[in-house]
Amino acid sequence: MSRTAVSDDDEDGPPTYTVPRGPRRDPRLKDLGISCMLNTEVAALLAVIRRRPDPYAYLPPAVAAAEEATFAGLIRSLKNLRALLFQPRLGAWRCSDPSMYLKPFLDVVQSEEAPPAATGVALSSVLKILRIDVFDECSPGARDAIQAVLTAVSNCRVDRIADAGAEEAVLLRVLQVLAAILRTRAAPLLSDHAVCTTVNTCFQVVQHAANSRGSELLQRTARHCMHEILQAVFSRLPDIRSPADASGGHGTDADDDLSVSSGAGFGARCMVDIFNFLCSLLLNAADMVATPDGHGAFITEEDVELFSLVLINSAIELGGEAIGKHPKLLRLIQDDLFYHLIHYSTESSPLVLSMICSTALNLYHFLRRFLKLQLEAFFQYVLLRIGGGGCGPQLQEVAIEGLISFCRQPTFVIEMYVNYDCDPLLRNVYEDVGKLLCKAAFPASSPVTTVQFQAFEGLVNMITTIADNVEVDKAPDQATYNVDISEYRLFWVERWDAGGDHGHETWVDFVRKRKLKKKKVAIAANHYNRDQKKGVEFLKLCHLVPTPPEPKSMAYFLRYSPSLDKNKIGEFLGDPEEFSLKVLKEFTETFDFTGVILDTALRTYLETFRLPGESQKIQRILEAFSERFYEQQTSEVFATKDAAFILCYSLIMLNTDLHNPQVKKKMSEEDFIRNNRAINSGKDLPREYLSELFHSISTNAITVFSQAAATVEMTASRWADLVKRSRAIEQFTPCDFKHKLSREAFVAVSGPAVATLAAIFDYTDDEEILNQCVEGLISVARIARYGLEDVLDELLCCLCKFTTLLNPYATTEETLFTFSNELKPRMATLALFTIANRFSLAAAGDLDFGPAGCLACFNLVIFAMVDDLHEKTLEYSRREGAERETRSMEGTLAAATQLLADVFVLFLGTVAQGPGFRTFWLGVLRRLDTCIKSDLAAGGGAGVMQELVPQMLKTMIVEMKEKGVLVPRDGDELWEITHIQIQWIAPAVMEELFP
């Protein structure tokens, strides 16, 4: 502020002070405001500390002195701070050490003698200092200060507070301060350990609020604070340098500990620990439920799952793609999180399943490049299984919603098709999704259920997405859609190398060939299941194995063909022939048993086939397995491969003994250990190792021989194998739509899709659903015009049935009544002509129709249709009160006449070569003359034909002139006849056409 002297005369009054106005505020004013704020907080805290429970009660001097001495240290530090607040300083508050003004308040927070009210006021003061950013990361001593705040809040002794209301008030302040610590500008100075401490302290409050049955406000605030803290932590992840960047492009898991942000402070290490805590919280949900003795932090298991999933979802949303740059964080999602999501899906409530689907969708958005097998497992064990109705209608509805959410993503359809349906090692996820939607949407009950309607919307969305992306300016030749396999290549593990030399082959060609080979393999597997020799011959014929077959190619066929009979695989692998033995060795080498315990490896191995019944065949198979397992063991438990073989055989015998109901006396653990003494080169295997194997087999049987397998579940051993395979498999390939791939993706689901849409159109009378059906059918036609004539024919046949115009048993009156009073026939007719005009004729343009065939099509189809519609329209126009129906019929007649003109122009060059063209042309003119002179106005007609016919005549005659069909020639009467007919039909265009 500045002082302005108004007058030197004392009688003029005191001098006035004015605040200078300008665009910037004097920083000294802000410092003065901070000083005033701190002074107010000190005064309030002193007042609360000094306040007695009964201010009117008399205290003897000695008692008062003792009470004053209890708080002497706290009061002294507060008074010292007050004395410094308004003294001149060398710099602003931001340049001062924050410990100077924070320490008195933090001492009160940590004091065990301070009354609860004082603790609450001190926490409020600290909260205010943090929120207005009195200091920042550049302030001297800021790192120690922010750490001191966290330490004080974490050590706040709320358990000493007897009053429940006072305790809750203090806890609410603690939560607010914890959240503010991570939001302050000095938060980046916190260490990884400090951030973990913040999360742990907040979770302790969550637990305390539940254990002590705190108020709803405290419980909700604690959970909200936990959410807010995680948001503040993970929002920094995109700014943290990845291990690869920090180490010059050679990052490893260990480097995650070194990842730091652009400034000093916490990095990815604390986020790994926090995310690991959240995953363990989800895993141990049952243990977190509150018990009568006061343990546990949540009311129900569902409550725990929702709480952890909300936090996990938030971390993924904020971390985004940056998670993929930190190996340890990514590994938690790949190895742990997805397993928990799959595990809880089938046993959860609809609300939990909905959150799981949202989490999986977020992971697809940001990290799908690293989650190829995990996403496949999620679709297989969760969405497809539950969506199929295996877990009840409520969960089915949520699963269908989850599938539709995926389908709405712009590139989901093509990415699923390319990455799974075109990969010979994986299942057809896209095709399974499409068929599930068709099955769920197919009308089988009345009325239409929510699940049916949702699946129908998802199906239409999927087809429309393909149709929007399949269109090209010029359709390729039909021959370019063909794919040829001219030579053998070991395609099972083949990958596309973007920088490699592929000759003339493009990435699209590579993917299409893989898909064709995958289809051929499925056909070969079907042949093989019925006749082994025919299956092998088909493989050779399609160049899927060389001639003669080599062991490696046959091994891959047996290992990765999903529809092969597992009993036949086992019989082939156990065969003593030399070729079968070589195939067995190659088959076994497709497994990676590194770091896997014996029973898990044996389960993974035997899941791919069934052991034959002969003991010699079993011995050959187990010898091959034991040799492979021994080569890859990392713990060096086995001294020789013979020891591994003997123990494998012993495990098979144990499995039979424990799980065969015909065996009455079961083998005990001691019996099993005794049976395997001195098998390891004369020494015993570790007792703990054998005990672990025994308990694993006793609790979970191995499927051997020809036992009928139940529904496959995602077990821990199966997940461990998936995680191991995910390390070596080709990454998920994000991609956009390509014309040929989009067309083939539609072909995979075209049959059930068209059938489902047609059935829904036939079944429902709801106008909204009918409109969506028509939209879907037109989208089908948009795709089918690119060389899919069979699909287009099927579509047109379906629509013709719904028009009711082709019913030979219906009278004219019945047809007119149905057509004018029912919405469905009119919509079907409109869709039929729309598809015929836009797509069917364009597709037919490449067909080789002769003159006779074209004339026959006109006479039998188009002329008959126009004549029939014209007759029915005239009849309806003569009825009283049928104006609206007449106009509707007139519009249909106009569409049919336009179709006649379009087809005429399209096939003019062909029909003009026929000997009956003159008669045919007169037939066209006669029908146009009849239409233009029809008196439909009396019945409510709008005069559409009077406007349309002259335009069509001009179009047809101009085309005939350009192609040399209609020219004045000696001895040719066509010109003269046309001249006379046009003068009679449409004299208004006579001068324009014949000047």
Q: Which whole number is the average pLDDT over 733-755?
A: 94
- Residue 28: the pLDDT is 61
Kindly indicate the confidence band of residue 403, based on its pLDDT and cuts at 50, 70 and 90.
Answer: very high
* Residue 83 to residue 96: CA distance in whole angstroms: 16
Q: Which whole number is the average pLDDT over 304-331?
A: 94
- Residue 451: the pLDDT is 92
pLDDT at 146 over 70: yes
Q: What are phi and psi of 4, to 5 degrees?
A: -120, 120
Q: Which whole number is the average pLDDT over 237-249?
A: 72
The DSSP 8-state label assigned to residue 10 in this structure reads: G
- Residue 167: the pLDDT is 85
Q: Which whole number is the average pLDDT over 85-110?
A: 80
The residue whose two tokens read 């480097």 is: 255
Q: What are phi and psi of 298, to 5 degrees?
A: -135, 155
Q: What are phi and psi of 17, to 5 degrees?
A: -120, 130
- Residue 237: the pLDDT is 92
DSSP per-residue codes, 223-251: HHHHHHHHHHHHTTGGGBPPHHHHTTS--
Kindly indicate the confidence band of residue 389, based on its pLDDT and cuts at 50, 70 and 90.
Answer: confident
- Residue 938: the pLDDT is 60
Kindly indicate the confidence band of residue 292, based on its pLDDT and cuts at 50, 70 and 90.
Answer: low
Kindly indicate the confidence band of residue 477, based on its pLDDT and cuts at 50, 70 and 90.
Answer: confident
Number of helices (H), then strands (E), in the chain: 46, 2
pLDDT at 7 over 50: no
pLDDT at 12 over 60: no
* Residue 343 to residue 725: CA distance in whole angstroms: 19
Q: Are 281 and 329 in contact (CB under 8 A)?
A: no
pLDDT at 217 over 70: yes
DSSP per-residue codes, 817-846: HHHHH-HHHHHHHHHHHHHIIIIIHHHHTT
Kindly indicate the confidence band of residue 965, based on its pLDDT and cuts at 50, 70 and 90.
Answer: confident
Q: How many CB atoms neighbour CB 314 within 10 A?
A: 19
Q: How many CB atoms neighbour CB 657 within 10 A?
A: 16
pLDDT at 843 over 60: no
Beta bridge partners of 2: 18
Of the listed ranges 249-263, 401-415, 907-921, the one predicted with least confidence: 249-263
**Half-sphere exposure of 855 toward its Cβ, with a 13 Å CA cutoff?**
17
**Amino acid at the residue 901:** A
Q: Are 815 and 825 in contact (CB under 8 A)?
A: no
pLDDT at 93 over 80: no
Q: Are 680 and 633 in contact (CB under 8 A)?
A: no
CA dihedral angle for residue 900, residue 902, residue 907, residue 913, rounded to 10 degrees: 60
H/E element holding 366?
Answer: helix 350-367
Beta bridge partners of 680: 683
- Residue 705: the pLDDT is 59
Q: How many CB atoms neighbour CB 908 within 10 A?
A: 19
Q: Which whole number is the average pLDDT over 437-453?
A: 88
The DSSP 8-state label assigned to residue 3 in this structure reads: E
Per-residue pLDDT of 797-832, as tens digits, reads 888 888 877 665 566 677 777 777 788 888 888 888
* Residue 526 to residue 564: CA distance in whole angstroms: 7
DSSP per-residue codes, 35-94: HHHHHHHHHHHHHHHH--SSTTS---HHHHHHHHHHTHHHHHHHHHHHHHTTS--SS-GG
- Higher pLDDT: 904 or 804? It is 904
Kindly indicate the confidence band of residue 553, based on its pLDDT and cuts at 50, 70 and 90.
Answer: very high
Q: Which ranges constitute the DSSP H helices of 132-266?
A: 142-154, 164-183, 192-211, 216-234, 243-246
Instruction: Give the three-class secondary structure for 663.
Output: coil
**Token digits of residue 426:** 């994986």
Residues 6+ apart with CB under 8 A from 798: 754, 758, 761, 777
Please report the sign of the dihedral spanned by the C-alpha atoms of residue 212, residue 216, residue 219, residue 221. negative
pLDDT at 276 over 80: yes
- In percent, the amount of the chain with pLDDT more than 70 equals 87
- Residue 22: the pLDDT is 47
Longest dimension (CA), the chain: 141
Q: Which whole number is the average pLDDT over 892-913?
A: 87
Q: Are 218 and 166 in contact (CB under 8 A)?
A: no
Q: Which whole number is the average pLDDT over 480-502?
A: 82
Residues 6+ apart with CB under 8 A from 112: 157, 160
Q: Residue 369 to residues 32, 364, 483, 736, 854: CA-CA distances in angstroms?
A: 55, 8, 28, 14, 53
Q: Which of 346, 349, 348, 358 is nearest to 389 (CA)?
A: 346
Please report the sign of the dihedral spanned by the C-alpha atoms of residue 542, residue 546, residue 550, residue 553. negative
pLDDT at 294 over 90: no
Of the listed ranges 163-172, 545-554, 808-817, 986-995, the one predicted with least confidence: 808-817
**Half-sphere exposure of 513 toward its Cβ, with a 13 Å CA cutoff?**
21
What is the total residue count of the chain?
995
Kindly indicate the confidence band of residue 14, based on its pLDDT and cuts at 50, 70 and 90.
Answer: very low
Q: Which of 591, 585, 620, 589 is nearest to 603 (CA)?
A: 591
* Residue 591 to residue 449: CA distance in whole angstroms: 46
Q: Which of 504, 469, 468 is nearest to 486 (CA)?
A: 504
- Residue 733: the pLDDT is 92
- Higher pLDDT: 479 or 374? It is 374
* Residue 646 to residue 655: CA distance in whole angstroms: 14
pLDDT at 430 over 60: yes
H/E element holding 691?
Answer: helix 687-699
* Residue 130 to residue 149: CA distance in whole angstroms: 10
Rg (CA), the chain: 41
Q: Are 788 and 475 in contact (CB under 8 A)?
A: no
Q: Which ranges constitute the DSSP H helices of 238-349?
A: 243-246, 268-283, 301-319, 327-332, 338-345
pLDDT at 914 over 70: yes
pLDDT at 840 over 70: no
- Residue 513: the pLDDT is 93
* Residue 529 to residue 663: CA distance in whole angstroms: 33
* Residue 531 to residue 541: CA distance in whole angstroms: 15
- Residue 291: the pLDDT is 64
Q: Which whole number is the average pLDDT over 446-467?
A: 92
- Higher pLDDT: 979 or 418? It is 418
Which positions are catalytic?
614
What average pLDDT does the chain have?
85
* Residue 574 to residue 616: CA distance in whole angstroms: 8
Per-residue pLDDT of 612-624, as tens digits, reads 888 899 999 999 9
- Residue 406: the pLDDT is 96
Q: Which of 771, 831, 780 is nearest to 462 (CA)?
A: 780
Q: Which whole number is the average pLDDT over 656-664?
A: 86
**Amino acid at the residue 732:** F
Per-residue pLDDT of 865-902, as tens digits, reads 888 888 888 887 878 777 777 777 888 888 888 888 98
**Token digits of residue 123:** 């926490």
